[in-house]
Structure 1
Amino acid sequence: MHILRVANFVSPTSGGIKTALRHWGQHYQEQGHRASLIIPGPGQEITEEEQGHVYRVPATPIPGKGYSLIWGRASMSRLMDAIAPDALEVSDRATTRWMGRWARRRGIGSVMISHENMTGIMVRRTPVPDRPAHWAADVVNRLSAHDYDAIVCPSEFAAEEFHRNGLAAEVVPLGVDLEVFSPVTDPSARRPPGPGEPLRLVHCSRLSPEKNPALSVETVRELVRRGVDVQLTVFGTGPMLGELVRRAENLPVVFHSYITDRRELAAEMGTAHLAISPGPLETFGLAALEILACGIPVVCCDEGALHEVVGDGGVIKPSTPAAFGDGVQELLERPGAHERARRTAEDFSWPRSADHMLAVHERVRQAVG
């Protein structure tokens, strides 16, 4: 089977979607399938990678967002015709929805992966009131379900907005590279901070409003108010970086330069005692899972899908600095917290996730064929 993947929200500094695409593509190839990928690029470029052929095509930048969108239907249709896939996998429900109809006209199966929660985006990131926002999200989701042969979501939270309308959506959890993201060997990193040693916290996510990174900074402010010797290191970049730097003035917060190498990122994060993951709209929480795999317990919010991933590997709290501060102090006193974090992460793997995706494609192919 030749699987063509298309994704819009992929950039040099993007996280979860890009990571999932890479691991799925590599596994597809290892299992004897062909994988191709079309993503935005500054210009036309084709590369051969472990995940298959990658086509970078001209795209229009979104001001202030760090992403670009592929708009040209005619040129994209010609490129997709030239690639001639047996199956289509699209990681975007809006600007590329026409691709489901493209696949149907050519008699091949199509799968749309919903990496975001449309309802949450409408409610939190637009001025539309809650009830009309739900209606608008329902319309978009019904159109997606009509145009594609199957819908895949990475969590029950992401799938709920389809299920509430009686639409089928299969949950395929993402994975984690348990070799790259693994606990550091230094046993001192697993003990609570001693006298004169700060409590080392990490935050890892894109610095954008839907991730609510300001909550991590405000949690540090709360801990300082309580007399806790703490230091937070923020890994990530995004449109809120300047605002967060200003907010963190006079607080023990360090903003680390962006790290592209996954092993380097794992090594840097692995020296922390605890992590904070406040994203209320996370439809999976890959960064939190990678932190758990390093054996670092996580304080996460009770919104979105994070609780589905963190589980026993951390604590789940309301999205307030006081509640997150309580969570930090609870984890410091929890016996075996680091071991439980690692065991939680071991329930997820990329081969298992990719095999599940292949099963979806095979089922769709049989239904279409």
Structure 2
Amino acid sequence: MHILRVANFVSPTSGGIKTALRAWGEHYQEMGHRASLIIPGPGQEITEESQGLVYRVPATPIPGSGYSLMWSRVGMVRLLEAIAPDALEVSDRATTRWMGRWARSRGIGSVMISHENMTGILVRRTPVPDRPAHWAADFINRRSAYDYDAIVCPSQFAAEEFHRNGIDAHVVPLGVDLETFRPVRDVHAWTPPAPGEATQIVHCSRLSPEKNPGLTIETVRELIRRGHDVRLTVFGAGPMLGALIERAQNLPVTFHSYITDRAELAARMGQADVAISPGPLETFGLAALEVLALGVPVVCSDEGALQEVVGSGGTVKPSTPVAFADGIEELLARPGAHAAARAQAELFNWPTSAQRMIAIHEQVAQSVRSPAIP
């Protein structure tokens, strides 16, 4: 089976979606399938990568976001026709939704992956009142379900906005590279920092409004107010970087430049005593899972899907600096917290995730070949 993946919201500094696309593509091929990918690029380019052929096509930058969008439907149709896939997998329910209809018109099975929570985005990032925002999200989700043969979500939280409309949505959790992201020290022998040693805290996520990175800064401020000696290292890039640097003035916060090498990122994050993952709209939380795999327990928000991922590997708190500071204190005092973090991460892996995706593609392909008789 030749599976063509298409994703708009991928940039050189994006995180979870790019990681998932790469991992799925690599495992699809290991399972004997062919994988291709279309993503935005500064120009036209085709490269052979570990995840298969990658087509980068001209795209229009979105000011202040770090992303670009592929708008040319005529050009995209030509490319889709030239690639001639057996299955289509689209990671965007908005600007590329028409591709589901294109695939159906050619007898090709299509799957849409919902990497974001449309309801949360409309409620939190637009001036639309809550009730109309829910109506708009429901309309968009119903259209997506109509246009594609199957919907896939990475968590129960992400699937809920489909389920509330009676729409079937497969839940396929993402995975983590347990070899690259493995503890750099003995998780069973971890002890709290001795007097005079600072507690090392790490934040790793895109620095954008939906990730709520300001909560991490304010949690450090609260911990210092309580008399704790802490040091925060922020790993990530995004449109809020400048504002966060200004906000963190006079605090023990280091903003690390974007690290492309996954092994180097793991080595640096693995030195932390505890991690903060504050995103309230996460539909999975791959960055949090990678930190857990390093044997670093995580304080996460009680909103979104993070609590599904973090589980016994950390603690779940309301999105306030006081509550998150309480969570840091709890994890530092919890026996076996670091071993539990690694054990929780081991519940997730990419081979299982990819196998479940392939099963959905095969199910869709069968239904396309044998349509139900009215």
User: Could you say which TM-score interval applies, normalised by the shorter chain?
Assistant: over 0.9
Corresponding residue for residue 99 of structure 2 = 99
The aligned amino acid for 1:249 is Q
The aligned amino acid for 1:21 is L
State whether residues 188 and 336 of structure 2, in contact with CA within 8 Å, keep that contact through their aligned partners in structure 1: no
Corresponding residue for residue 248 of structure 1 = 248
| Residue 64 in structure 1 maps to residue 64 in structure 2 | yes
State whether residues 23 and 51 of structure 2, in contact with CA within 8 Å, keep that contact through their aligned partners in structure 1: yes
What percentage of residue pairs aligned between the two structures are identical? 78
State whether residues 189 and 271 of structure 1, in contact with CA within 8 Å, keep that contact through their aligned partners in structure 2: no
How far apart, in 2, do the equivalents of 1:55 and 1:185 lie?
40
How far apart, in 1, do the equivalents of 2:294 and 2:186 lie?
12
Matches within 5 A, 1:137-286: 137-185=137-185, 190-286=190-286
The aligned amino acid for 2:229 is D
The aligned amino acid for 1:350 is W
How far apart, in 2, do the equivalents of 1:12 and 1:191 lie?
37
How far apart, in 1, do the equivalents of 2:174 and 2:185 lie?
26
**2:207 aligns to what SS in structure 1?**
coil
How far apart, in 2, do the equivalents of 1:118 and 1:267 lie?
34
Corresponding residue for residue 23 of structure 2 = 23
Corresponding residue for residue 305 of structure 1 = 305
Q: Deviations over 1:47-95 (max 9, x none)?
A: 0111110000000000010000000011100100000000000000000
Corresponding residue for residue 293 of structure 1 = 293
How far apart, in 1, do the equivalents of 2:137 and 2:349 lie?
31
**1:233 aligns to what SS in structure 2?**
strand
Q: Deviations over 1:178-217 (max 9, x none)?
A: 0000001367982211111001000000000000000000
Matches within 5 A, 1:80-99: 80-99=80-99
**1:366 aligns to what SS in structure 2?**
helix
State whether residues 117 and 281 of structure 2, in contact with CA within 8 Å, keep that contact through their aligned partners in structure 1: yes
**1:291 aligns to what SS in structure 2?**
helix
TM superposition score normalised by structure 2:
0.98
Greater Cα offset, 185-194 or 217-226: 185-194
Q: CA deviation at 1:162?
A: 0.3
The aligned amino acid for 1:26 is E
The aligned amino acid for 2:30 is E
**1:192 aligns to what SS in structure 2?**
coil
Q: CA deviation at 1:164?
A: 0.2
Q: CA deviation at 1:308?
A: 0.1
How far apart, in 2, do the equivalents of 1:220 and 1:87 lie?
47
The aligned amino acid for 1:282 is E
With over 3 angstroms needed to count, the CA separation of the structure-2 counterparts of 1:105 and 1:187, relative to structure 1, is closer
How far apart, in 2, do the equivalents of 1:361 and 1:71 lie?
26
State whether residues 189 and 272 of structure 1, in contact with CA within 8 Å, keep that contact through their aligned partners in structure 2: no
How far apart, in 1, do the equivalents of 2:353 and 2:55 lie?
24
With over 3 angstroms needed to count, the CA separation of the structure-2 counterparts of 1:105 and 1:190, relative to structure 1, is same
Q: Deviations over 1:214-250 (max 9, x none)?
A: 0000000000000000010000010000110011000
Q: How many residues align?
A: 369
With over 3 angstroms needed to count, the CA separation of the structure-2 counterparts of 1:187 and 1:35, relative to structure 1, is closer
**1:29 aligns to what SS in structure 2?**
helix
How far apart, in 2, do the equivalents of 1:65 and 1:286 lie?
20
Q: Deviations over 1:105-128 (max 9, x none)?
A: 100100000000000000000000
The aligned amino acid for 1:105 is S
How far apart, in 2, do the equivalents of 1:88 and 1:137 lie?
23
Corresponding residue for residue 38 of structure 2 = 38
Corresponding residue for residue 49 of structure 2 = 49
With over 3 angstroms needed to count, the CA separation of the structure-2 counterparts of 1:170 and 1:187, relative to structure 1, is closer
How far apart, in 2, do the equivalents of 1:105 and 1:341 lie?
47
Stretches of structure 1 that go unaligned for 5 or more consecutive residues are none
Corresponding residue for residue 366 of structure 1 = 366
The aligned amino acid for 1:207 is L
**1:202 aligns to what SS in structure 2?**
strand
With over 3 angstroms needed to count, the CA separation of the structure-2 counterparts of 1:56 and 1:189, relative to structure 1, is farther
The aligned amino acid for 2:170 is E
Q: Deviations over 1:125-173 (max 9, x none)?
A: 0000000000000000000000000000000000000000000100000
How far apart, in 2, do the equivalents of 1:188 and 1:17 lie?
32
TM superposition score normalised by structure 1:
0.99
The aligned amino acid for 1:22 is R
The aligned amino acid for 1:84 is A
Stretches of structure 2 that go unaligned for 5 or more consecutive residues are 370-374
Corresponding residue for residue 352 of structure 1 = 352
Greater Cα offset, 9-18 or 186-195: 186-195
